[in-house]
A and B are shown apart, each in its own frame.
Chain A
């Protein structure tokens, strides 16, 4: 009999759902998203940001429903669900697609950060050696198991708290008039922003993979919502900050507006705060990549139980290094970025609700067969009784 429950020594308290979800959502995209989001909707950019953030709450409700129902049947995670819903073959095929999607997210993250480093700090940073050393650290963390990964999420949350205080430097130079006129854009423009924005909020679907590792999942639910609200607040404040600090024309010329904002901050002991900010962002990247790699290697283990996770981990990391080294063209990265964000949008808005629907159908079907069996038994009993008489 396969064991459906994760040993309690590997589980984490419900509170950590907040840190993980917030950590998975806020990534390297924070730097550039002010530009992307305001291209179509300009000063009203905060509207799509808000709407998407609120819509993630609905998706979270669906996911929690799905996982909670699944608890009765086996391991409540996506890979086990696929197997139960669609049988081993088709289910594993779906799992493979999901694994590939998660892996692409890891690659995009890694590439985006390397790009940032090469543009801003070290123009000739050797990609191979950097990714190799980075992956060594990731390997070290993932070998420590889920608890260690959660620890890195918590620490990155703590590290980032002072970084968000830095935003207050903008208040003295803010032009709040930039936010006016309100609601000046058509729904189509807002929708375009909405779609472009999606990579920022993606990441919370990782709950589908780590849900079995939460102690007392009932209590964890509220922390999941709080996690989403935290990143919602982060994104809304950053959007507003970008709008009030820069003019719309300037914002479109800046590739990473947040870095340009940090550049204007001066401390008595050091200048050029954005250098520290970029390097600091490594603490955000590490938990993110570790989690992604953990999901991928765990997916391989769940789909093909012959392979142990620790053995699956090494080729995954090697492949990550290889792809990061090979992918040099900006156009390739862009293509991967748009494709993955579209797939991500489909997954959260179409596939996850569909899974809940499918689960409901299966339950109905099961109930019917169960009833049929019961009635059949009943008939047989009656017949037997008759016979005896």
Chain B
């Protein structure tokens, strides 16, 4: 086709734009202010040295590289390679390698300026933020570390938790221009080979020019990128990532992103806070059920209000009717308009709070919550009952530990409100049926998205809405099809607990 032809020509031009010889490359880089390229002619050996000041660790260059060029015994590049106290020094004539290494922060040493033979000395500058406590996924109990933007720091954070050689990290480059480093991390022998292959395949198949963050990546590799429901969890907590790896998941890290992606994920994991594993299982189960109730409440409360007040007034018990009538009697709008206005107000508050700096954000909360809320009731724009419902449902939506899921839950109630206005409870039921069938069809890395419920797997239900004690969970999740299904030996664990006491005081 003619457009393809044109595209191909463009691609060819792209390639022709790349430098063809060493001189070409150097000529192009010379004008950059942070590029150093000079001739070293003192001592017994003469050579050309080039590097980016901004990318190399200058201190290390002055200490570990340059002094060795003055050595009397240095006569060739190989001599330098033998003497420099830097690891992974290599010689090459390949222009592409030279270019990419130069852009990463290595020093290039040549004998003559136009010679393609180069010595590459890696002196990469590693500068990153300090490891700080997590800000998005805060927790009361447990470790207080979070990932930073530097990939190597993140890997070291994980390696400390998994001190075995089976912990595998595969590196690949994604992005035609940015060439971003992306790592797949998993424990060999625990993670399913199939999952690892799928992740690798999806990453390799990506066609894009640059990659900034894992959350962008998660949309690109998602099974269904048109779904409002997030399909992979991205976390800033190394402990959570490591826990997922021990379960048999695969993690993906991107250089320059303080998040790790955990694949595959079920919808239930979005409602699990990592704290739950650090507290007694009764309390963990209680909080999880509370969150489940919160989600249901948050999605259904305002649509039910609209449905009941618009169509199904018979549903209201007589005792409740009086207070409803008094709060509704002054409101001039229909229940749907009222609900939509209040919901929008909460959305505005949330968005404003997220965009503003923390200190101003608090003021916004006070202004929004107290001033607008009470004032709108006093002005007769909304009813008290609805204000309580909406306030509670906003609170409930944010009990979801994953902010990403929280926003989804807040979003899906708008279709519910519209459906409630259309056909009352029937509309809500239809809307619900639609979302449920959507979730039924959803997959995450080819695994069912609502897994312990459908397909019904009782062993996985033990760590879902409820959390049973660790001793009763000797198996890894069946969802992940781990190569090594057992966490520990069940029989031995039972033996160590010992026999039940035969009687009181014996």
Contact between A271 and B437, CB atoms less than 8 A apart: no
**CB of B333 closer than 8 Å to a CB of A:** no
Contact between A148 and B312, CB atoms less than 8 A apart: no
Residues of B within 8 A of A271 (CB): 314-318
Residues of A within 8 A of B314 (CB): 271-272, 275
Interface string of A139-159 (1 = CB under 8 A from B): 011001000101110110010
Known: A275-B314, A282-B433. A152 touches B426 (CB 8 A): no
**CB of B96 closer than 8 Å to a CB of A:** no
Residues of A within 8 A of B455 (CB): 12-13
- Closest residue of chain A to B321 (Cβ to Cβ) is A271
Contact between B317 and A270, CB atoms less than 8 A apart: yes
**CB of B278 closer than 8 Å to a CB of A:** no
Residues of A within 8 A of B454 (CB): 150-151, 154-155
Contact between B436 and A155, CB atoms less than 8 A apart: yes
**CB of A90 closer than 8 Å to a CB of B:** no
Could you show 19 A-B contacts with beta carbons less than 8 Å apart? A15-B456, A122-B311, A122-B424, A134-B430, A137-B434, A140-B437, A141-B440, A148-B437, A148-B441, A154-B456, A155-B454, A158-B453, A267-B317, A275-B314, A276-B425, A279-B429, A280-B429, A282-B433, A286-B437
**CB of B17 closer than 8 Å to a CB of A:** no
B17 → chain A closest CB, angstroms: 46
- Assembled-state Cα–Cα distance A272/B318 (Å): 11
- Closest residue of chain B to A157 (Cβ to Cβ) is B456
Known: A13-B455, A144-B441, A151-B440. A282 touches B430 (CB 8 A): yes
Residues of B within 8 A of A154 (CB): 453-454, 456
Given A152-B440, A155-B453, output 9 extra A-B contacts at Cβ < 8 Å. Answer: A117-B426, A121-B311, A137-B437, A148-B437, A151-B440, A271-B314, A279-B425, A279-B428, A282-B426
Contact between B426 and A268, CB atoms less than 8 A apart: no
Nearest 8 Cβ contacts at the A-B interface: A151-B440, A144-B441, A151-B454, A279-B425, A282-B429, A272-B314, A141-B437, A279-B429
Hey, which bits of chain A sit against chain B, CB under 8 A? 12-13, 15, 117, 121-122, 125, 130, 133-134, 137, 140-141, 144, 148, 150-152, 154-155, 158, 266-272, 275-276, 279-280, 282-283, 286
- Assembled-state Cα–Cα distance A137/B315 (Å): 27
Interface string of B305-323 (1 = CB under 8 A from A): 0000001101111101000
Q: How many A-B residue pairs have CB under 8 A?
A: 84
Residues of B within 8 A of A275 (CB): 312, 314-315, 425
B430 → chain A closest CB, angstroms: 6
Residues of B within 8 A of A137 (CB): 430, 433-434, 437
Residues of B within 8 A of A276 (CB): 315, 425
Interface majority SS on B: helix, strand, loop or mixed? helix
A228 → chain B closest CB, angstroms: 20
Q: Which one, B320, B426, B433, B441, contacts A122 given CB within 8 A?
A: B426
- Assembled-state Cα–Cα distance A13/B423 (Å): 37
- Assembled-state Cα–Cα distance A265/B246 (Å): 50
B304 → chain A closest CB, angstroms: 9
Residues of A within 8 A of B316 (CB): 270-271
B465 → chain A closest CB, angstroms: 12
Contact between A144 and B317, CB atoms less than 8 A apart: no
- Closest residue of chain B to A285 (Cβ to Cβ) is B433
Known: A154-B456, A266-B317, A269-B320. A148 touches B440 (CB 8 A): yes
Interface string of B210-236 (1 = CB under 8 A from A): 000000000000000000000000000
Task: List B residues 426-447 near A (Cβ within 8 Å).
Answer: 426, 428-430, 433-434, 436-438, 440-441
Contact between B430 and A133, CB atoms less than 8 A apart: yes
- Assembled-state Cα–Cα distance A75/B311 (Å): 50
- Assembled-state Cα–Cα distance A125/B423 (Å): 9
Interface string of B405-429 (1 = CB under 8 A from A): 0000000000000000001111011
Contact between B434 and A140, CB atoms less than 8 A apart: yes
Residues of A within 8 A of B317 (CB): 266-271
- Closest residue of chain B to A282 (Cβ to Cβ) is B429
- Assembled-state Cα–Cα distance A324/B455 (Å): 34
